[in-house]
Structure 1
């Protein structure tokens, strides 16, 4: 059996087991009699045929026939395995997480992953963009497991999804877009989602903006009251913060219980 054929057979066996990706290290470990140069040459040929695709240095996706026209897999099929390969904690966030929680109206062009430092560069392949956001600590207890065709995916829970949208609003198109997504998310959000652990993880300024949007843009007083009440119980100080960060604040009022300076207008799509 030729080198190419043996490597292709190994990859097909992986795929038969429901695996959609592999590392060059794993391949070398399995085929110890093959030289590194020979393996890379075979992988190059398979890439040219559209059978596999390099998604990260030393890491490949297996492209089954149903995904051959696009030449790439949906990120949900390989993100968990990729992050394990990189030995990184992670969770799927922002618009992609919102889609798991019922706010799928606005389909994202990018796939957002929160991980730790050092920061990872965005990956752009075959029209797909993987965007990484780095934070100091990944709140494992605020994540949910979502079943996928290839296993499981870590996704921010409902409350964390909402606060991340507010905190990283520039990454998803601004506060107007965030408000529209929140308007859909409130169908799934529950008062008990605003638990102490969630508040401890989330910056106070973000909680204040989220509370303001829930109350004055989404008009959901039950959720707004639940969040405000929890902040009171935890004796969180509400310093004046702008609704739109890094924008002009002079001349704008903040006469609301959230102490939010209303320095921008928010519109919900009808």
Structure 2
């Protein structure tokens, strides 16, 4: 075995407690977990659990995305920790109910060439904006009455919720600042005119009961 291989082996070696937590989370299919999950799996003292979480962070196997909530770094990412999950999937684990919307949805549906630096997430809850590494999340609170027009999509085998093309347009007309302005909405309509159900846009607009889309 080469010296470099020995060094890598030492770097990635996990203790029994750490290994139990990682393997159990992977078996459960959890990409994001919280401290309650760690207590449930390890069935150990607070100090012991916190120590395990600390060691896993130092070894690049987990990252804290907000207080008490962690992202599990898969082994396929390598042990440098230089890996980032798809923002849409992270958003799905941060708040519920939710859907990806506004500029993020415009870009996903190919309705704009602009690539937003922030992931826009619509929810019925009050949620503080979040920055995790190079990722930024903007949470927009809607009433339950406006929380509809949601479809389920999939990236790399992982499902997430996003506003439909029609709901993306209606939401954008109400809050154009979250879509890069009205010009982007107009361009989005033009680019997707063959894929948009205009009758549905009208129905959604009526349901939202907002003057800006009458």
Determine if the alignment matches structure 1 residue 131 to structure 2 residue 138.
yes
The residue that corresponds to 1:44 in the other structure is: 54
Distance in 2 (CA, whole Å) between partners of 1:139 and 1:8 is 44
Alignment correspondent of 1:21: 32
Rate the CA distance shift 1:168–1:25 in 2: closer, same or farther, 3 A: same
Instruction: Provide the C-alpha distance between the structure 1 equivalents of 2:18 and 2:211, rounded to a whole number of angstroms.
Output: 53
Counterpart secondary structure, 1:78? helix
Larger Rg: 1
- The question of whether the paired residues in 2 share the 8 Å contact of 1:159 and 1:194 is answered with yes
Give distance in 1, aligned partners of 2:49 and 2:187. Answer: 49
Q: Distance in 2 between matches of 1:62 and 1:5?
A: 17
Counting matched residue pairs gives 200
| Structure with more relative contact order (C-alpha pairs < 8 Å, separation 6 or more) | 2
CA distance in 1, matches of 2:53, 2:157: 22
Structure 1 residues 22 and 168, CA gap change in structure 2 (3 angstroms):
same
Which SS does the other structure have where 1:120 is aligned?
Answer: coil
Q: TM-score normalised to the size of structure 1?
A: 0.65
Query: What residue is the counterpart of 2:94 in the other structure?
Result: 82
For residues 49-88 of structure 1, the aligned pairs below 5 Å read 49-64=59-74, 65-66=76-77, 70-83=82-95, 88=96
1:35 corresponding residue in structure 2 = 45
Q: Is the 8 A contact 1:71 1:126 kept in 2?
A: no
Query: Stretches of 4+ moved more than 6 A in 1?
Result: none
CA pair 23-137 structure 1, distance change in 2 beyond 3 A = same
Q: Deviations over 1:22-72 (max 9, x none)?
A: 12101211221x111221122122112221111222211112233866443
Structure 1 unmatched runs, 5+? 209-270
Identify unmatched segments of 5+ residues in structure 2: 1-12
Q: Per the alignment, do residues 187 and 45 of structure 1 end up closer, same or farther by CA in structure 2, a change over 3 Å counting?
A: farther
Q: Offset at 1:144?
A: 0.5
Q: 1:199 to 1:174 in 2, by over 3 A?
A: closer
Query: Residue 235 of structure 1 corresponds to which residue in structure 2?
Result: none
Say which of 207, 211, 219 aligns to 2:213.
Answer: 207
Q: Say if 1:55 and 1:111 are closer, same or farther in 2 by CA, change over 3 A.
A: same
Aligned CA-pair RMSD: 2.6
Secondary structure of 2:143 counterpart: coil
Q: CA deviation at 1:94?
A: 1.0
Cα contact 1:111–1:130 (8 A) shared by 2: yes
When the two structures are superposed, what TM-score results if normalisation uses the length of structure 2?
A: 0.80
Q: Specify the alignment match of 1:240 in structure 2.
A: none
